[in-house]
Chains A and B, each alone.
Chain A
């Protein structure tokens, strides 16, 4: 990929790390059809950028600069515009992430229910700091703002699931289940 087709402000191909064909980054024909379907849902196809980035992250694991450039191509955007979007949101990973993501809520209701201790417990168990991934690539640990399940504080998001009313014992069981 050499920037966005039809875009007047495509960056030069020699932009760091972006030169050459994107060998590993390509959607399947089914995924390409899904991109087109999503784009057709919005009055302006750019509306599909966030959903397509979600798709790309599911497909490629994280949003590398290469993925940004690939996605930009579908929207006739410069990769810089996609980068600006990717960096604005917390759910897009700009580095490889673990096979699982554990996101412990640290906002007020969870704090009042002991989220500090829960977070410290997870850190000890996994041997990583917030923002890090275990050496075996199994789990990435995050601490996040209110996930809006404060009635069941302290809580965490583990991949797609909300894990509620956490205790150290419950945390241990959950972590053991992550392979």
Chain B
């Protein structure tokens, strides 16, 4: 059993309070970091092989080092707590059960990037997480942890999946509709309110205090050669024990499903797994002997994304599952890019028609053709996230779609 790092305090009744957090050594990482040179903090995080846990898996220390050294104006830290990827719920647990771990991670990160103001963008639907996290911020102010060189503003979103995409999030934070922007410039060069900005996921920043306390080598050794640490897997769908599980990034998908989530429920026979949130390409039952690190999933033709694992047993209809996701993409496309706006709507209609029994077999090739053409042509990665499911569900389970078609 791998070491439990991020969920170490979840069993405590008072894990969300400052007293509870301090009782388990909380803010010890910050005490140490405040005596360190900013560059040394970034170096330590680089050596730890921490990679972003929000979706893209970018090396965290490297991202921090992109902040221009000679910048005279302010630098901002923005926490992505807009958790919205279908099948993902880990950040909710952290905000509710260990909010001080995020605050401590923000304090350390702010020192590393010389930042005096941080924003935490929490999805609007997360009312309870917002209340609990805000209460923790107040405690941290009362205790003098915040307000002396670093401030935190807790910001609520208003319902839009695309605000999880970092540039959409920044537009939204600025009081605009959440339209993503073309990169470059990357947020580290020109981000919130036009200033250099680091955007990191909640869980990513919760990893920072233990890295500083226990050292980069220890953290790196928890994972694989190219990614350090443990992470929180959200497991849902047809398993006996759905929930959030912490394990090494090196755990296999098979072990996660069978050893942690209790196996497969429903018919008891596995049909398919979504390994990294709704936008990850689907894997078949014989594709689960893979490590769950960023590279392991990439090699398997999918992505680890937000590590939201959705399990489907033999009784699940793959065309229906795709229809549900296609509806999601059609609803959530921000509409800026023609391929994304038009294809998401049209593909949903097509898949819906097939599920209703009115489709034709050659519709499948048209869908695949349309899906593939738009890849890599859009402002943000939302559309690439949509075509992962479109293509993989149809290519890997084509006979199931064909069985629903008239001709």
- The chain A residues found within 8 Å of chain B, CB to CB, are 41-44, 46-51, 53-54, 75, 84-85, 88-92, 106-109, 111-112, 145-153, 157, 160-162
Contacts and interface: CB of A to CB of B under 8 A. Distances in A.
Given A50-B175, A112-B312, A146-B87, A89 B158 contact: yes
B175 A46 contact: yes
Interface in B106-122: 117
Interface string B70-107: 00001000000001111111011000000000000000
Nearest to A151: B242
A3 B89 CA distance: 42
A151 B244 contact: yes
B127 interface: yes
B254 to A, nearest CB: 20
A68 to B, nearest CB: 13
Contacts of B312: 112
Interface string B239-250: 000111000000
A165 to B, nearest CB: 10
Contacts of B126: 148
B159 A91 contact: yes
Given A49-B175, A50-B158, A88-B160, A42 B153 contact: yes
B141 interface: no
A136 to B, nearest CB: 25
B361 interface: no
A80 B128 CA distance: 32
A89 B168 CA distance: 12
Interface in B125-155: 125-128, 153, 155
B195 A107 contact: no
Given A108-B278, A108-B325, A111-B321, A90 B159 contact: yes
B86 A145 contact: yes
Given A108-B325, A112-B310, A151-B234, A91 B158 contact: yes
Contacts of B176: 46, 49, 85
Contacts of B316: 112
B172 A50 contact: yes
User: What 4 A-B pairs are tightest by C-beta distance, nearest first?
Assistant: A49-B175, A90-B159, A89-B158, A88-B177
Contacts, number: 145
Interface in B21-76: 74
B178 interface: yes
Given A41-B153, A50-B158, A85-B176, A161 B128 contact: yes
A68 B392 CA distance: 44
Given A107-B86, A146-B85, A146-B278, A160 B128 contact: yes
B339 interface: no
Given A107-B324, A109-B236, A44 B193 contact: yes
Name the residue in B159, B174, B175 with the highest tally of chain A Cβ atoms < 10 Å from its Cβ: B175
Nearest to B117: A43
Contacts of A42: 153, 175, 193
Contacts of A150: 86-89, 234, 236-237, 242, 308, 310
Contacts of A84: 177
B244 A107 contact: no
Contacts of B127: 160-161
Contact of A151 (B89, B117, B195): B89
Contacts of A108: 86-87, 237, 274, 278, 310, 321, 324-325, 328
Contacts of B172: 50
Nearest to B315: A112
Given A50-B157, A88-B160, A112-B316, A43 B195 contact: yes
A112 B325 CA distance: 12
B351 interface: no
A151 B242 CA distance: 5
6 contacts: A89-B157, A107-B86, A107-B328, A108-B86, A109-B86, A151-B242
Given A44-B193, A151-B244, A54 B158 contact: yes
A153 B165 CA distance: 25
A160 B129 CA distance: 11
Given A42-B193, A47-B193, A148-B88, A89 B160 contact: yes
Given A91-B125, A108-B274, A112-B238, A48 B84 contact: no
A106 B332 CA distance: 14
Nearest to A162: B128
Interface string B158-182: 1111000000000011111110000
Contacts of A51: 155-156
Contacts of B175: 42, 44, 46-50, 75, 85
B331 interface: yes
B158 A92 contact: yes
Given A88-B334, A107-B328, A146-B278, 11 more contacts: A43-B74, A44-B175, A50-B155, A50-B175, A75-B175, A84-B177, A108-B310, A109-B236, A145-B332, A147-B125, A150-B87
A21 to B, nearest CB: 26
A46 B192 CA distance: 12
B242 A88 contact: no
